Amino acid sequence: MAFTATDAHLVEMPVGEDYPEIRDGVRKVCANFPGAYWRAKDKAEEYPTEFIDALTAAGFLAALIPEEYGGTGLPLRAAAVILEEVCTAGCHAAAGHAQMYIMGTILRHGSPAQKQKYLPDIAAGKLRLQAFGVTEPTSGSDTTQIKTRAERTESGYRLNGQKVWTSRAEHSDLMLVLARTTPASEVKKKVDGISTFLVDIRECLGRGMTIRPIDTMINHHTTEVFFEDLDIPADALVGEEGQGFRYILDGMNAERVLTAAEALGAARWFIRTATGYANERRVFGRLIGQNQAIQFPIAQAHIQSEAADMMIRRAAALFEAGRPCGAEANMARFLAAECSWNAAEACMQTFGGFGFAREYDVERKWREARLSRVAPVSSNLILAHVAQHVLGLPRSY
């Protein structure tokens, strides 16, 4: 079903279970990767290569790549549905989600030669573009203050600097890197002088590029990356020199929508899991689901998930219509992250002590849910964005 309006100021937004064929296809893939698979990967801190290969073979990770480059050319909403269903099934979408939105930088701003060289192989699964080097130890979320620099040479550029929280760099063939090509002191606007480069990890590793894994509370395959006099060719530059920050902003709305869909899927997994357990577990001679202390948090999480779903659909509809959607994409991300965490808490409380036992998968998903309030954007940054850019309140920093 869909809401359709003739008013030019309105857009069409699907309601109900849209893309049923895609949802069914994702569910079938995920059915081959039950909780035991993810528990084993989590314990060994291994990358889910088999799962990513299965998603790639089914064409799901190439959803946003145009057909002319071997992808399926689906709209953003369809891609969001894919990631939502992956997480609803209890699988880990973050292991592959970056391939969906990182390639957008090449698609929108890359040269014809770059598109032809990389996109078909990414769509076919011959190349992985999963890593994005943006965050640095001293700059955090303030991307304009990055210290990594790229200096021109006779044959291209020389990279020096450090990135942190660069997930999946060890499991990717290519990586987008943001670096300063003009010092901040020499530009009129702090967003100027930053460029985007497509680095071939296979050629650079050990030749000026070092990757070190970071031990974290979740199996998120994150790393820190070091560049020391790394020479890269001139054609590694994506788009125009000095415009890289704008390219990043250009792709953020898609990233917000897609990661919001993941958080929504996780919330639905928690709600379904908690409801099932509450309808089976008996304490003091009665089902624990009869207790309002159990009912209400689960019901509240469900209500919040429905609200997040509507905002995700709205943001995707605006994005696909070419309309401004920064506020909607950020609000969708905020609502989904908050409802995912609230659902995780409700599920953990419903299971009680058993929630800490790995065999139920609750503690693993609970740990993953906490990340959604921090990365790829923190809830506080979203609140600041809405306060200043939507409500017109003064900058707080």
Q: What is residue 8's predicted lDDT score, i.e. its pLDDT? A: 45
Domains of the chain, by residue range, sit at: 2-124, 129-245, 250-390
pLDDT of residue 3: 44
Rounded to two decimals, the pTM is 0.94
Residues β-bridged to residue 180:
149, 194
Supply the DSSP symbol for 382: H
Q: Among candidates 135, 150, 141, which has minimal Cα distance to 180?
A: 150
Q: What is the DSSP string of 2-21?
A: EE---STT---EE-SS--HH
What tens digit of pLDDT does each residue of 33-58 get?
999 999 999 999 999 999 999 999 99
Mean pLDDT of 122-131: 94
Digit-coded pLDDT (tens) for 178-187: 999 999 899 9
As its CATH architecture, domain 250-390 has Up-down Bundle (1.20)
Point out which residues pair with 159 in neighbouring strands.
150, 230
Per-residue pLDDT of 276-332, as tens digits, reads 999 999 999 999 999 999 999 999 999 999 999 999 999 999 999 999 999 999 999
Residue written as token pair 């698979």:
37
CA distance 160 to 169: 17
Confidence (pLDDT) at 13: 86
Res. 9 pLDDT band, cuts 50 70 90: low
Please say whether the structural domain 129-245 has been given the CATH code 2.40.110.10: yes
CATH number of 2-124: 1.10.540.10
